[in-house]
Amino acid sequence: MSEQNKAHVRRVIEEVYNRGDLAVVDEVAASDLLIHTSAQEIHGREGAKRYVAALRIGFPDLRFTVEEQIAEGDMVVTRWTARGTHRGEFQNVSPTGRGIRLTGTDIHRVIGGKIVECWAHVDELGLMRQLGAVEADPAASGSAGALR
């Protein structure tokens, strides 16, 4: 079952995130899907579609690469890297044309061939720095930075 669950998550990454095929969400996610991010909780298939659509509006060439995957029982852990170009508005940041590299780790719970829950851990601060929305505090090396 673990290998099937890993393949299921890879399908989500390839077809939904990389290709932008939002219809696949209806096939791979439970109707009561819950995604936990540091900033919000995303509920249901429609919420997931809005989340992915916002990413793809901001970064139309967005491409995720699976670096590692570990599965046990109904849980799948995926460490990934995403790259893209900031060509559309994203989180109130106007397009910059900058290339970005984003890293993260997702933990999916898959039951009966459907993703029911996901915990998404993403370097959001690093992304905002790359977009120029947050700058590092020059007085404190390694600090969280200051909002512009």
Tell me the per-residue pLDDT of 94-110, one tens digit each, with 9 for 90 and over: 999 999 999 999 999 99
Q: What is the mean pLDDT of the chain?
A: 93
Q: Please tell me the least confidently modeled range out of 3-12, 14-23, 120-129, 137-146.
A: 137-146
pLDDT at 144: 52
Q: Residues 114-141: what's their mean pLDDT?
A: 87
Q: How many helices (H) and strands (E) does the chain have?
A: 4, 8
pLDDT at 148: 44
Cβ burial 39-58 (10 Å sphere, 16+ → b, else e):
eeebebbebbbebbeebbeb
**Which H or E element spans position 58?**
helix 44-58
- What's the pTM value of the predicted model, to 2 decimals? 0.87
**pLDDT for 33-87, tens place per residue?**
999 999 899 999 999 999 999 999 999 999 999 999 999 999 999 999 999 999 9
| Model confidence band, residue 1 (pLDDT cutoffs 50, 70, 90) | confident
Q: Please tell me the least confidently modeled range out of 26-35, 80-89, 138-147.
A: 138-147
